[in-house]
Structures are given as C-alpha cells and as structure tokens.
Structure 1
Amino acid sequence: MHSLQLPPRTRAPALITGLVCASLSLVLLVLVAVRWSPLMSLDTTVAEALHRRAVAEPGLVRVSRVLTDWVWDPWTMRVLTAAVVVTLWWRGSRLLAGWVAATCLLTALVQQGLKAAVGRERPRWPDPVDSAQYAAFPSGHAMTAAVTCGLLVWLLRLYGAQPPLWWGSLVLAVVSVTGVALTRVYLGVHWLSDVLGGVLLGGAIASLSAAGYIRYTGRARLQARGEVRRL
C-alpha cells in the first residue's frame, strides 16, 4: 500500500454514515429499554424460529460455533486490530495507530456500559445449543466485528489500496459482520435487536472515528501550511 492519500472531502460520507448509524442505534436503544411490544414480539418470533432450526441442524450448529467462537470472536478481532496498530506504529503512523487503538478501547467501554445499563436478559431455552454470559444488548460480537471491519476497510482506503483489494475487503467485511450477527441469533444467545444494535453502534463508532481523524489531520495540515507561510 502507498502513503496516506485520502482527500479531506471524504470526511463527509463517513460523518453522514456515522450520524445515521448513531441515530438509528439510539432509537433502537430506547425501544429495547422500554421493551416496545412490537419489537419484543419480533425478537421472540425470530429467535424461536431460528432455535427450532438449530436444534434440528447439529452440523450447522457446529459450523456456526466455530465461526462465532474463533473466526469472528471479539478476541480474534482485537488481536487483528492489535496487529494493525503495531504495524502502523512500526511504519511511523503513530497518530493513526493511537487513534485506532483508542477507537477500539472506546468500543469496549461503550459496549460494557450499555450492557450494564440496559441489563437485558438473553434468550432462555430448555434445550440450548450454545451459551453466553452477561447481558444481551448490544451484542459484543456484532459490535466488535463492525468496528474492526469498518476500521480495516477505511485504513485500506486511507492508504490508497487498489480498487480490487478495497472492494474485496468491503465484501469480506459485510459478509463477516452479517455472518456474526446471524450466528449469534441462530445459536440462541442473542435477540435480533441485540445484533442489530451492535452493528449500528459499531458502524457509528467506526465511521465517526474515521471522520474525526480526517478532520483533525486536515486542520493540522492547514495550520502547518499557515506556519510555513508566516515563516
């Protein structure tokens, strides 16, 4: 990949995406907190239908557990992000490395804070195919995957990745985020609104982080140019 070359004007799509995701996630958070009846009914209907299928499909359950526990597990995503941060630091992009690390730390804090504040119980089954601990909303798997994949796609764009690589990474990111969301509901450890909330929150954090970085570095460049001209 080449050096940073994303023009300042590309901040707008990231900012708009972040604000839309943040707004939708706030609406969903309120609906979950007040236990809005239509949403609770939808969650129950989807969860029950998928659980019946999971009980009847042990082979697919095993595949789903491997994907959710290893490939798309939050710790797998964190290790991947840590590797990216180290690489950026080693390449001399220390501000960007710190920015990515801080974004991931913020994600973990927001996730755990919301789980504690909402305190939503996970689905309970007489014949569970998987188990998970702590509160349900938002899904940590979905939120972490959305932030990690969003940041990685943005970084490839930031470093001028060729279109085939960038589009390929975008498709892989969409598949991964969608996949982890589906497996969590399919395995009966989350409600549909949990994973939707995780995806929206993750998308908001990743997009707003990207927009913030572009704005910050753009202003720094303008200030540096001003100083040079005064000299």
Structure 2
Amino acid sequence: MHTSHHDIAVAARNRVAFPLLVPFVLLASLVAVRWPPLHDLDESVSERMHGVALSHPGWVDALTWLTHILSPTGWRLAVLALVIWLFRRGARSVAIWAAVTMIAGGLLGAVLKLLFSRARPEFLEPVAKASGYSFPSGHALNAALGAAILLLVLTPMVRGHRLATVGLWTAALGLPLVTALTRVGLGVHWLSDVTAGLFLGAAIAVASAAIHSRRGVPEPVEG
C-alpha cells in the first residue's frame, strides 16, 4: 500500500475546497452584519439545547466527557501520531504537510475569533463555561481539520478494503459532528459557530492538500 502527492489530493482533485469554503464565507458575512434571522435561529437552538441539558444531568456529563476527548488538543495529538508514523516510513513531505496544515488551521481559527469578537451564549443557569470569543468554534474547526487530514492521508492506504474505507469515512464525518454537538449542547457555542468551524476546517485541509499535490513526484509510503 502507498500514498503520494497525487493520492493525498483525492478530495482536492474533485475541487471541493471552494464549495466547502462558501458556507463559511456566507455564515461569516451574516455574523459580521448581525443578520437577525441567523441570530434568532442561533438563540432558538441554544435555548432548546439548554433546556434539555438542565433536564438531563447525565446528558451534560456525557457531552462534557466527549468534548474533552474531542478537544483541539486531542485532534492535534492524533495528527502528531500520524506525522510520526509518516516520518518513520520515509514520507517526510506528507508528514510536514500534515503538521503545517494542522498548525496553520488552528492559528487561523484563533485569528478569526479575534477579528469577529463574537460573544458566547449566556444563560442564567449555565451547565458549562468557556473562555474567549465564539466565532468560529475552535473545537469544530480543529475536529474537521484533523479528521480531514487523517482522511486524506489514510484513504489511499485502505483502497480496495470496503469495510476499512467505510469505517474511516464514518469516523471522519461523525466525530467532528459529535464535537460540534457537544459545544452547542453545553451552551458554549452558537449553532452558526460550529457549522462555520466544520466547513472552514475541512476547506483548509482540502485546499492545503491541493497545494501540496502540485509540489512534486509521488512519495511512497509502505504500509
């Protein structure tokens, strides 16, 4: 089994970076102008989720446990493990791509938080607290970013193995969505925060893969 500059851009070849970026740009624009319908939707979802949280302490415990496991640090450690694995197999260029993409995406998210300076949801009886600004969600962004990096690198290696491919795609799509759910369920993010974070994280990974795929000849990774 092998991966390569060509393989790592499987999604990039299909030109999905731009379609992934469009929803983020749209949401960012609506947040910037404080579009009332978006604000009303965010408030409605947050109030309903908060009501569920107050009525079900066990649900809050589960969300808290999941949000810690699926934190930005958790995703960075997962990508770090991938980077080490790639280096040990001689795929230095792909390893560097994965590391740089993860770091750059996280930094971009932090900068955007400062630019938008959006306040987090506030409740009289909060079930969780978080510091910093709200848009975009760092948890959602890093989850989508880390999952996309892992997916782009590992998909070529399981080609021809249907069960492994299905499992990989299910995890890459499902875990970021669960991450986003925990942030809204705990009342520390608006729905638009996590939605924007998911689209931006995936777009960064795919766009970065497209750039990386143009740099040189295939680089084998024995698996």
Greater length-normalized contact order (CA 8 Å, ≥ 6 residues apart): 2
Q: Distance in 1 between matches of 2:171 and 2:86?
A: 22
RMSD: 1.8
Secondary structure at the residue paired with 1:147?
Answer: helix
Unaligned 5+ runs, structure 2: 219-223
Unaligned 5+ runs, structure 1: 222-231
- CA shift for structure 1 position 86: 1.0
Q: What does residue 145 of structure 2 align with?
A: 147
**Residues 214 and 178 (structure 1 numbering): CA distance in 2 closer, same or farther, change over 3 Å?**
same
Q: What does residue 113 of structure 1 align with?
A: 111
Q: What does residue 178 of structure 2 align with?
A: 179
- CA shift for structure 1 position 215: 2.5
The residue correspondences of 1:6-155 to structure 2 (distance < 5 A) are: 7=6, 11=10, 13-14=12-13, 16-69=15-68, 71-155=69-153
- CA shift for structure 1 position 213: 2.1
Secondary structure at the residue paired with 1:168?
Answer: helix
Report if aligned partners of 2:155, 2:168 keep a CA contact under 8 Å in 1: no
Q: Distance in 1 between matches of 2:8 and 2:143?
A: 27
- CA shift for structure 1 position 16: 2.1
1:28-86 alpha-carbon deviations (Å, 9 max, x no partner): 111111111110110001001110110101001101100001x2111011111111111
Secondary structure at the residue paired with 1:16?
Answer: coil
Radius of gyration: which is bigger?
1
Q: Which has the higher helix share?
A: 1
- CA shift for structure 1 position 7: 5.0
Larger mean Cα displacement after TM superposition, 89-98 or 153-162: 153-162
Report if aligned partners of 2:155, 2:165 keep a CA contact under 8 Å in 1: yes
- CA shift for structure 1 position 10: 5.9
Q: Distance in 2 between matches of 1:140 and 1:14?
A: 27
- CA shift for structure 1 position 212: 2.0
Report if aligned partners of 1:150, 1:206 keep a CA contact under 8 Å in 2: yes
Q: Distance in 2 between matches of 1:55 and 1:45?
A: 16
Q: Distance in 2 between matches of 1:206 and 1:215?
A: 15
TM-score by length of 1: 0.88
Report if aligned partners of 2:9, 2:206 keep a CA contact under 8 Å in 1: no
Q: Number of residues paired by the alignment?
A: 217
TM-score by length of 2: 0.91
1:61-120 alpha-carbon deviations (Å, 9 max, x no partner): 101100001x21110111111111111111111111111011011111110000000000
Q: Distance in 1 between matches of 2:215 and 2:203?
A: 18
Structure 1 runs of 4+ with >6 Å offset: none
- CA shift for structure 1 position 158: 3.2
Q: Distance in 1 between matches of 2:61 and 2:55?
A: 12
**Residues 73 and 91 (structure 1 numbering): CA distance in 2 closer, same or farther, change over 3 Å?**
same
Q: What does residue 210 of structure 1 align with?
A: 209
Secondary structure at the residue paired with 1:208?
Answer: helix
Secondary structure at the residue paired with 1:23?
Answer: helix
Q: Distance in 1 between matches of 2:73 and 2:11?
A: 31
Q: Distance in 2 between matches of 1:187 and 1:160?
A: 36
Report if aligned partners of 1:137, 1:194 keep a CA contact under 8 Å in 2: yes
